[in-house]
Copies of this chain bind each other. A is one copy, B any other.
Amino acid sequence: MGKRIVIIGGGAAGASAAARARRLDPEAEIVMLDKGLFISHAPCGIPYYIGGVVKEAQELAIYTPEEFAKERRITVKVNAEVFDVDTKNQVVYAREGNETVKYQWDVLIIATGAKPITLPVEGHDLNGILTLRLPHEAPKLREEVEKASTVAVVGGGYIGLEVAEALRNLGKRVLLFEMMPHVLPTTFDEDMAKLIHDELIKNGIELHLNEKVVGFRGVNGHVNKVITEKGEYNVDKVVMGVGVRPDVDLAVKAGAKIGETGAVWVNEYMETSVPNVYAAGDVAETWSLITGKRMYVALAPPANKMGQVAGANAVKGRFLKFPGVLGTAITKVFGLYVARTGLTEKQAREEGFKPVSATIKARTTAHYYPGGVQVNIKMIMDETSGRVLGVQIIGPDRIVAGYIDVAAALIGKGATVDDFFFADLSYSPPTAPVWHPLITAARVLSKGKY
């Protein structure tokens, strides 16, 4: 009989772990339990479903539970909510409809993901205050917002911005509240975020910065007012986008150590502090490739990779190591692509570096080739070592994704501004200027060396 592996959570990390464990061990008995209805799902797609770009919520899952189970010979249970973990007897207990089912494990992988943060303010539990969580709940969410004419979005992070755009696309009046002086406050510097503000305002978003939401009021239990430090606003619905926190309840029950970030502590093998218990994805903490410090990043690509590492190591022991992250991320804000990697200038200063930065505008094609557009690039370097610490890019072309990935590839390998300058990047008149925009940024940053 093969090793018995139980995976709690069928999202990005859980499904990756399951697939990888099966691939590396044809004998293992693998059980994947998810409290929702979808597996291998993509919560990142929910805003696009709400806005109507994606027609069916079912499209947000890559596989149906049946397909996934069959192709990989894995026992997949949806609507199966694990409520207790017993590490002494190596079992978990799940509620499946009216039944309680017990699963025995040799290895447990906790991939319970994250949950939206609720503001602990007056009226936070009124009806009509919505959160994005699981793809199978998205149709209800869409139905709710479709009835509204004015919607408040609380929080100017990635999800907040994406939902605000989706709501505008549905023709709603949208008020966006962010308590910090700029949107994407933890991932962008203010100078770059201002470009996003312009785009939001141009597209009719009513942007309320530096404005903390302190409560909600309602009639008949349904929200109809957002209360901030500065005023009161009549709304029909509220969508919360103030971020997520790791869903550590079951990890705590398993006795796993919680790290300084509030997420489950794991080492590079995705082992928790409890023998034979792994954690991966949005429930687990990770660490910066630049500073080595623990950080919490709830993004799909690292979740998938952590899942792979956990799944591989669950069957093969210490087979793969997760190296850490840069927090590379991108989103589309109306006509702008907005991307970042590494440290912001502010973060670099807080981390004790001596940051200098260059901000440039550059064209995306040769100057004479039609169709090129202008992108804005901010590059941050540690003056002492010459190492590039972070890059932020904003522009109206999808090639921004390519640029940020080049930056992430180089920064991930410890690149200096010299490495950026000499990177042998491609050129042809329709695809790039002869001096690639990232190289131009590095030149400006080099202060005359290049």
A295-326 interface bits toward B, Cβ cutoff 8 Å, 1 = contact, 0 = none: 00001111011001000000000001011011
Contacts of A449 in B (CB 8 A): 320
**Complexed CA–CA distance, A408 and B419 (Å):** 12
Contact segment of A71-79, A108-116, A362-370: A362-370
Contacts of A332 in B (CB 8 A): 428, 430-431
A39 smallest CB distance to B (angstroms) = 14
Most chain B C-beta atoms within 10 Å of own C-beta, residue among A422, A435, A436: A422
Partner of A368 from B54, B299, B367, B434 at Cβ < 8 Å: B54
Partner of A53 from B24, B323, B369 at Cβ < 8 Å: B369
| A308:B450 contact, CB within 8 angstroms | yes
Most chain B C-beta atoms within 10 Å of own C-beta, residue among A325, A368, A405, A432: A405
Verify if A409 is at the interface (C-beta below 8 Å from B): yes
Contacts of A299 in B (CB 8 A): 427
| With A62-B367, A399-B398, A406-B405 as contacts: A330 and B12 at CB distance below 8 Å | no
Partner of A369 from B54, B401, B423 at Cβ < 8 Å: B54
A395 smallest CB distance to B (angstroms) = 12
Copies of this polypeptide in the complex: 2
Contacts of A404 in B (CB 8 A): 426
**Complexed CA–CA distance, A250 and B402 (Å):** 41
Verify if A329 is at the interface (C-beta below 8 Å from B): yes
**Complexed CA–CA distance, A427 and B329 (Å):** 6
Verify if A185 is at the interface (C-beta below 8 Å from B): no
* Chain B residue at minimal CB-CB distance from A422: B323
| A366:B45 contact, CB within 8 angstroms | yes
Verify if A331 is at the interface (C-beta below 8 Å from B): yes
8 contacts between A and B (CB under 8 A): A48-B369, A305-B422, A323-B422, A330-B428, A398-B398, A399-B399, A401-B426, A410-B413
Closest 8 CB pairs of A and B: A402-B402, A59-B368, A330-B426, A413-B413, A401-B431, A409-B409, A326-B424, A405-B425
A34 smallest CB distance to B (angstroms) = 18
| B405:A341 contact, CB within 8 angstroms | no
**Complexed CA–CA distance, A329 and B427 (Å):** 6
